[in-house]
A and B are shown apart, each in its own frame.
Chain A
Amino acid sequence: MKKIYNSKICFLLLILFITSACDDYLDVESETAVSSESVFQSQDGVLFALTGVYTRLKLKGFYGTEFALIGDAATDNGKIPSDRESAGANADRMPFAYTLNLNTTNTSTLWQDAYIVINNINNILENIDNATDINEDVRSQVIAEGRILRAWAYFSLVQLYSQDFNFTADQSHPGVPIVIATGIEDQPVRNTVGEVFNFIFTEMNESISVLQNNDAIGRDNDIYFLNYFSAVAMRAKMHFYVTNYAEALADADIVISQGPYSLVENYTTSLYEARGLGDLEFIDAWAGTVIVESESIFQLYVNEDNPEEVTTNRSIIDIYTSNNGNAAHAISNDLLSLYEAGDVRTNWYKIEDVDPHVFKYPGGFGDARDDTPYSVLRLTEFILMKAECEVRVNNADNVARDLVNLITLRAGASPIASSGNALIEDIITERRKEMAFEGNRLFDLKRLQRGFTRVDCILPENCTVVYPSNLYAWPIPQDELNGNPNIRQNDGY
């Protein structure tokens, strides 16, 4: 009996041994992904995570395509080419941004992509203290950059998915949910536009003061990363679009007078060999892999080689470049006719097939011809912003005229001589011409509470939009409604 008893024990021990060995055997680590614990255990990992946030500004819904495109496509600036590259044949080129035939499935993925940026930042902010070796100054700079990028993502979201700031007197109309913590089960409600902007300005103010005296990471005013001046420029733009012109003026002044930027003095041109189209004349400052370098405050380099999830094959590359003969977006005659004969800026548009297509970002010629730089913020915008604010806040027509004529002069256009309200209108028009296809027109129209009429309009596009319009607050995607019963859809969808 005793022998049997012993062998039973042996057998049990053997089973235990095999079972415990099995558990190790069943631990398989991925070799192409890294656990989040390892990411946040060091300063390097934290910085990699922050760089990942910058990369995701290039997601398709954000500056990869859609948010860069909609500001012009959805207004009287844009037009679907009338040739074969029609709405029907190119569903991936956002025909609905032109036709404004919007619904919950035909809408921008900015909603999703901006919240991916926000979630990545929230992850960093929650886990940054796990990095035991992190330098205190690096830590505060990472937090500041993260909070500013997050505020910028919220600003972009309300621009597209909410009515303008003054739509209700107390800003009680729906904004977007403010999410500052991670958690996949959360189903937040929409905050009001007022709450969102309160959050945005608090975040900006606190973070800008950190960046003012701290560059422990060593950004060194690199135009591809945030720094004190680009953060102030962002805040200027935020103030401008909530029509707080005095604050916008103050911030624009800082950017213009203290920032390391200088205006491109002359828009000179040269011939460049554009693949498939022969030699074409382009403005030198806009050709190449870095654009308007001396005045650039923040730009992105949108490249085809990014990992699939980051940009798509129909990125901005295919929208505003010439180099693969694929530019699929045209400029409306409404805008084109505003340029005087001899205005150098008409070199941004090239006839292909029938219509003038937008070639504002031709990118590098040669090796990197499929890559496109995209300007998010540049000095010119703040010159024009300051000009408009000087008239509105200080009635300083002279100052404003001098500023705006810096822009007309280098383009070879006639100087502006008007004053008062006419001057404001001329500055707005100059802004439309100079900042065309940089994603601002729709938000300027909303800021000014104006509708628009497309004269150069092909059915079935919506040719006239009258303010206030449901088309000024885009529909929230169906996927959000599927996953979050608490979300309120915008009116009209």
Chain B
Amino acid sequence: MAKILLFSMLVVLLTPLVPAQDLTVSGRVSAQEDGTGLPGINVIVKGTTIGTTTDVDGNYRISQVQPNAVMIFSSIGYVSEEVEVNGRSVIDVVMVRDITALEEVVVVAFGTSQKAAVTGALESIKSEDIIRQQQANVSKAIQGLVPGLQVLDGNGQPGSAGGFLIRGIGSLEAGNGPLIVVDGAVFNGSLSQLNASDIESINVLKDASSAALYGSRAGNGVVLVTTKQGTDRETTYTINAQAGFTETLNPNDFRVMNTAEYVEYYREAIINSGQDPDDTGSGFFLPVNQEFDTDWIEEALQTGTFNKYDFTASGGNEKTSFFSSLGYFYQEGTILATDFERVNGTLNLKHQASDKFDLGGKIQVTYSSADNLISEGGRSGQFSGAFETAPTEPIFATPDLIGGPDEGAGYNFEIPSNARHNPVATAVLNSNTTETWATNNNFNLGYNFTPEIRGEALANYYFFSTTNRETIGKLYRAETDDGTAVEERITGNTFNFIGTLAYKKELENHGFGLKLGFENTRQRLNSLDVTTNNFTFPNLNAVGFGNNVVLQDIGSDFEGLSVAGFFGRVNYSFRDKLFFEGSIRRDGASNFGPDTRWGTFGAVGMSYILSEEQFIKDLSFFNHLKLRVSYGSSGNNNFGQFLWRDLYKPDVIFTTGPGPENANSGVGTLDPSNPNLRWEKNLQFDAGVDFTIFDNKVSGSLDYFRRVSQDLLFAKPLSLTTGFEEVIVNSDAEILNTGIEVSLGLFPVRNDDFVWRVDANFAFYNQEITSIPDEVVFTTNIWQEGGRSDNWYLQRYAGVDPNTGDALFLTADEVSTTDYNGDEDRVIVGQRTPDTYGGITNALEYKGISLSFMFYYSFGSDGYFNLAQDLSTDGGSFPANQWSNVLNRWQQPGDITDVPRALVNNPNGDLVSTRYLYDESFIRLQNVSLGYSLPKAITGKLGMSAISVNVTGQNLWISTDFPGYDPTSASNSNFDESYPLARTITFGVNLSF
């Protein structure tokens, strides 16, 4: 060892002593696919420390080059080129994209790693793929880009978040969301606070090995977001402007009845029930002649606008670099009176103070303001309330209506079909806004004690303040309180500190790495809400102006969580082809009692680059082949913060009359405590293979995983005579998730003019409850051994008796009956999460023109279409409007249909059954992007380094059997009508100079 060291030192010392006849070499490095200059390419004279990087146009100049030297051109994502100088002074190089990206550096837990050395399953998403998706919330922009990361659509409200699910559902009572880490620090805010243009990459850690350093909280996987940094080049500026419009998607033309259909249908129902629709005193008065035909849904929808403008500046020198940006985003929703606005500012700084000491920091500030739906469900929302409102009702009051046009701002509030709620007036006279200020700041230090030992510290402080204001206007006559105002203020902060010490040693055939660290996180949230009503002036609707306030209308809430942990990781590599990794972490969290709060988790992983072996090389088939295997454990504490404490609820106020003088303070029992609560545990095995074949034309990876979730929290039912319904315990419940994830990249065509690249990812999942203490039956779901946790458990609908028009249901033993039971006759009929989902992206480039289109698909899940149930009561909810599908009702003996006869007071509306369960599989053209980059010759004359224009479409097309607006809106147990996804078309210009 000492000999080797001595030899290396000699080499380093002797190199400058060799006599030299220096040359100055210059040239241009361009990309093979479009001939554009490539900035930032490393140019190094082989065997020396002489080097430079190309400028923004791809030009370089390098001096002190020996005539017989070899120059190396390299960059992440390109195949390195070695060029012999042979005395030339001008060397132009064309670089080929390397889809294996062997040298690629990826962000891993607490640092970065060469992609080659990664032993686990992690996936990277690059900046351009995120920016291409025109979404206000980054979480939705990465849907379909990663195998194994399911982005749940959430709703179509601009700015709203999509939920994440990594490798299936692994818990029964606790949370299933992954840990989100932004620039190294745990992030508790909403991803809507980030500007997509600021993001460098998003990495998803799926298996135990890659996530293990976040051990305790990584049971559901980890999403690492990294924002852009400056570079040591001259300052560049970019301006991006994107504008367009957005509208509701309605693939299967879902609609409710118009006036003619409505009158025909309900008159039939009234007559079928033995009532007279022409009798004004019957309670079922519905004459044939109607004055109005209002399409309430059409009134509730709008075409929204989309605007996004970014300005960035970045640059620096060897010592200091910076990235700064300012972004503005505004999107109007597709539903009346909804929108989202955001302003972002970011400054990232890096400074190399000396050879040993470096520091950096980040300041990121966001302001956002959203006008949300007035109510997401029921009659009082502008969208949800539009379905049941009878088309026979006018929007505006006529003089003969009670109240008349003088009252209620002219709107019609005599709407019995909707409990007087007028959806248009709802949007105009009421409001529901959320304003948020947030700032996320990092300060980090690094110190190289020796070339092998480096210490790092990161301190992060995140603060947010949110104000929700909900008002019901004084003139909104469907409510009787003379106006209501609710204001809720929430402030929260997270402090995160991470200290690490890393040791690295490279020997000829062996590499060692060791990292030790400490982390703590402290999260706090306080909220205050006030409700007042009875306002004097219609326009003064702030809480302070309400004339009626009582003690109980003021509320406060608190959340607090502290986590502290120690961790360590060891790496070993042999000849850069065999890699081992082991990690361990011990964490304590405040949501457990003192005896059970510490948990220890760890993982081991191994990877083997087979393509480095001669026998694989001899096959001359694989450009790259790597096998990976990992196994480890991780935890989950994503649940209630004080479940272990024996607590009393303080605000059990005993009122003996109106007003604060009649409020008597009381306390009462809260939940039963469980001081023995401990971490949920996930054990995960992952095996994968990465490969590149056919002359770098096809690359891909394949992963198999087996994730066992143990010690799952379970609500153990108690005898109600104890005063409690259930207690949360760690049970012997166990869930097994298994799956296969595939990603493929290929170049069907790749030549100097034309490049066509296809990226596809597929994931196949299975989930099973392998053990559960007791069978648990919910209204539409059952947990039992051998079953899934997300099944649908419903009585089956069997259509309509052709003789009587009555609804038929199947009993558990397949007998058709009109007698709905809904209890013993339920069976498992479907599942809520898909068997397989994925994305396929085609990217074509021809000279300066680029076209990409991406499909996202999801197959195998079923959705309960709650809106259909609300709107298919077979006459029972007269005079509420109904789904147009109900018009296919049974009318006379012999009619074959699946919609029962119409009857007022029909009880069918309450009968939960498979009648409303639909396959929600879909395939969606999620993104189409057409761009053109002007040739350098033109941009140069304009003083610009790049000019490009684009047209982008989001959610242009969808194919599904689900009859509603959006197959993803029905997927879970949320029984409200959610905000449908929007189709967005935008035009953009990008300048850099």
Q: Which residues of A contact B (CB under 8 A)?
A: 18, 22-23, 25-37, 39, 45, 48-56, 82-84, 86-89, 91, 103, 105, 111-112, 115-116, 118-120, 122-123, 177, 179, 182-188, 222, 224, 275-276, 289-290, 301, 303, 305-307, 309-310, 323-325, 353-354, 364, 367-369, 371, 458, 460, 477, 479-480, 482-484, 487
Q: Interface 1/0s, chain B 207-228, versus A by CB < 8 A?
A: 0000000000000000000000
Q: Report B-chain residues with C-beta under 8 Å of the C-beta of A32.
A: 556-558, 650
With an 8 A cutoff between CB atoms, is B670 at the interface? yes
What 3 pairs across the A-B complex have the smallest Cβ distances?
A119-B723, A368-B658, A51-B666
With an 8 A cutoff between CB atoms, is B520 at the interface? yes
| Of the residues B480, B548, B646, B723, contact of A324 by C-beta under 8 Å | B480
Band of interface residues on B:
35 or more
CB contact list, B697-738 vs A, under 8 A? 716-727
Contact across chains for A483 and B717 when beta carbons are under 8 A apart? yes
Return the chain B residue nearest A307 by Cβ.
Answer: B651
Contact across chains for B667 and A182 when beta carbons are under 8 A apart? no
Contact across chains for A25 and B648 when beta carbons are under 8 A apart? no
Q: Report A-chain residues with C-beta under 8 Å of the C-beta of B878.
A: 84
Chain B nearest CB: distance from A460 CB in Å?
8
| Of the residues A55, A112, A309, contact of B666 by C-beta under 8 Å | A55
Q: Known: A354-B283, A371-B658, A483-B726. Contact between A179 and B561, CB under 8 A?
A: no
| Majority secondary structure of chain A interface residues (helix, strand, loop or mixed) | loop
A-B residue pairs in contact (CB < 8 Å), sample of 13: A29-B560, A55-B654, A89-B876, A119-B723, A122-B723, A186-B719, A290-B657, A305-B550, A305-B553, A306-B655, A307-B653, A310-B652, A367-B534
Chain B nearest CB: distance from A425 CB in Å?
36
Q: Report A-chain residues with C-beta under 8 Å of the C-beta of B877.
A: 84, 88-89
Contact across chains for A82 and B646 when beta carbons are under 8 A apart? no
Contact across chains for B642 and A120 when beta carbons are under 8 A apart? no
A310 and B667 alpha carbons, distance in the complex (Å): 12
Q: Report A-chain residues with C-beta under 8 Å of the C-beta of B662.
A: 301
CB contact list, B899-913 vs A, under 8 A? 905-910
Contact across chains for B597 and A26 when beta carbons are under 8 A apart? yes
13 extra A-B contacts, CB within 8 A, seeds A30-B560, A55-B668: A22-B564, A32-B650, A33-B642, A45-B667, A52-B667, A82-B905, A88-B910, A112-B725, A184-B724, A188-B719, A224-B656, A480-B720, A483-B717
Chain A nearest CB: distance from B902 CB in Å?
14
Interface centre among A35, A52, A289, A364 (most CB of B within 10 A): A52
Interface centre among B552, B650, B668 (most CB of A within 10 A): B668
Q: Known: A187-B719, A324-B480. Contact between A25 and B564, CB under 8 A?
A: yes
Q: Known: A301-B662, A479-B717. Contact between A88 and B480, CB under 8 A?
A: no
Chain B nearest CB: distance from A226 CB in Å?
13
Contact across chains for A28 and B651 when beta carbons are under 8 A apart? no
Interface centre among A28, A324, A480 (most CB of B within 10 A): A28
Chain A nearest CB: distance from B820 CB in Å?
11
Contact across chains for B564 and A119 when beta carbons are under 8 A apart? no
Contact across chains for A51 and B589 when beta carbons are under 8 A apart? no
Contact across chains for B909 and A30 when beta carbons are under 8 A apart? no
A294 and B60 alpha carbons, distance in the complex (Å): 99
CB contact list, B542-572 vs A, under 8 A? 548, 550, 552-553, 556-558, 560-564
Q: Report A-chain residues with C-beta under 8 Å of the C-beta of B724.
A: 119, 184
Interface centre among B480, B722, B724 (most CB of A within 10 A): B722
Q: Known: A31-B526, A51-B665, A301-B657. Contact between A120 and B909, CB under 8 A?
A: no
Contact across chains for B723 and A116 when beta carbons are under 8 A apart? yes
A293 and B801 alpha carbons, distance in the complex (Å): 58
Contact across chains for A56 and B668 when beta carbons are under 8 A apart? yes
Chain B nearest CB: distance from A272 CB in Å?
15
Q: Report A-chain residues with C-beta under 8 Å of the C-beta of B905.
A: 82, 86-88, 458
| Of the residues A34, A354, A367, A369, contact of B667 by C-beta under 8 Å | A34
Contact across chains for A28 and B722 when beta carbons are under 8 A apart? no
With an 8 A cutoff between CB atoms, is B645 at the interface? yes
Contact across chains for A26 and B721 when beta carbons are under 8 A apart? no
Q: Report B-chain residues with C-beta under 8 Å of the C-beta of A222.
A: 656
Contact across chains for B658 and A48 when beta carbons are under 8 A apart? no
Contact across chains for B652 and A55 when beta carbons are under 8 A apart? yes
Q: Known: A54-B654, A86-B905, A480-B721. Contact between A48 and B667, CB under 8 A?
A: yes
Q: Report A-chain residues with C-beta under 8 Å of the C-beta of B309.
A: none
Return the chain B residue nearest A113 by Cβ.
Answer: B720
Chain B nearest CB: distance from A82 CB in Å?
7
Contact across chains for A27 and B590 when beta carbons are under 8 A apart? yes
Chain A nearest CB: distance from B562 CB in Å?
5
Interface centre among B652, B657, B719 (most CB of A within 10 A): B719
Q: Report A-chain residues with C-beta under 8 Å of the C-beta of B558.
A: 30-32
Contact across chains for B725 and A53 when beta carbons are under 8 A apart? no
Q: Report A-chain residues with C-beta under 8 Å of the C-beta of B823.
A: 103, 105
Contact across chains for B669 and A119 when beta carbons are under 8 A apart? yes
Contact across chains for A289 and B666 when beta carbons are under 8 A apart? no
Q: Report B-chain residues with C-beta under 8 Å of the C-beta of A185.
A: 718, 722
Q: Report B-chain residues with C-beta under 8 Å of the C-beta of A290.
A: 657
Contact across chains for B648 and A49 when beta carbons are under 8 A apart? yes
Contact across chains for A23 and B717 when beta carbons are under 8 A apart? no
| Of the residues A51, A111, A482, contact of B717 by C-beta under 8 Å | A482
| Of the residues A22, A87, A306, contact of B653 by C-beta under 8 Å | A306
A18 and B642 alpha carbons, distance in the complex (Å): 24
Q: Known: A34-B647, A88-B907, A477-B720. Contact between A26 and B667, CB under 8 A?
A: no
Contact across chains for B668 and A49 when beta carbons are under 8 A apart? yes
Chain B nearest CB: distance from A177 CB in Å?
5
Contact across chains for B721 and A353 when beta carbons are under 8 A apart? no
Contact across chains for A55 and B876 when beta carbons are under 8 A apart? no
Q: Interface 1/0s, chain B 870-912, versus A by CB < 8 A?
A: 0001001111000000000000000000000000011111100
Q: Report B-chain residues with C-beta under 8 Å of the C-beta of A371.
A: 655, 658
Q: Report B-chain residues with C-beta under 8 Å of the C-beta of A177.
A: 719, 721
Chain A nearest CB: distance from B518 CB in Å?
7
A177 and B718 alpha carbons, distance in the complex (Å): 14
Q: Report B-chain residues with C-beta under 8 Å of the C-beta of A325.
A: 480
With an 8 A cutoff between CB atoms, is B664 at the interface? yes
Chain B nearest CB: distance from A164 CB in Å?
22
Q: Known: A26-B590, A324-B480. Contact between A55 and B719, CB under 8 A?
A: no
With an 8 A cutoff between CB atoms, is B988 at the interface? no
Chain B nearest CB: distance from A240 CB in Å?
26
Q: Known: A183-B722, A186-B719, A479-B725. Contact between A307 and B667, CB under 8 A?
A: no
Q: Report A-chain residues with C-beta under 8 Å of the C-beta of B642.
A: 30, 33
With an 8 A cutoff between CB atoms, is B672 at the interface? yes
Q: Report A-chain residues with C-beta under 8 Å of the C-beta of B665.
A: 48, 51
Interface centre among B666, B672, B873, B906 (most CB of A within 10 A): B666
Return the chain A residue nearest B909 by Cβ.
Answer: A88
A186 and B727 alpha carbons, distance in the complex (Å): 13
Contact across chains for A301 and B666 when beta carbons are under 8 A apart? no
A27 and B879 alpha carbons, distance in the complex (Å): 57
Contact across chains for B594 and A49 when beta carbons are under 8 A apart? no
Return the chain A residue nearest B908 by Cβ.
Answer: A88
With an 8 A cutoff between CB atoms, is B649 at the interface? yes
Interface centre among A111, A310, A353 (most CB of B within 10 A): A310
Q: Known: A26-B562, A89-B876, A305-B552. Contact between A34 and B650, CB under 8 A?
A: yes
Contact across chains for B667 and A35 when beta carbons are under 8 A apart? no
Contact across chains for B719 and A33 when beta carbons are under 8 A apart? no
Q: Report A-chain residues with C-beta under 8 Å of the C-beta of B658.
A: 289, 303, 364, 367-368, 371
With an 8 A cutoff between CB atoms, is B111 at the interface? no
Contact across chains for A33 and B721 when beta carbons are under 8 A apart? no
A179 and B282 alpha carbons, distance in the complex (Å): 52
Contact across chains for A186 and B641 when beta carbons are under 8 A apart? no
Return the chain B residue nearest A223 by Cβ.
Answer: B656
Contact across chains for B526 and A51 when beta carbons are under 8 A apart? no
Contact across chains for B552 and A484 when beta carbons are under 8 A apart? no
Q: Report A-chain residues with C-beta under 8 Å of the C-beta of B653.
A: 55, 306-307
CB contact list, B5-19 vs A, under 8 A? none
Return the chain B residue nearest A39 by Cβ.
Answer: B648
Contact across chains for B672 and A184 when beta carbons are under 8 A apart? yes
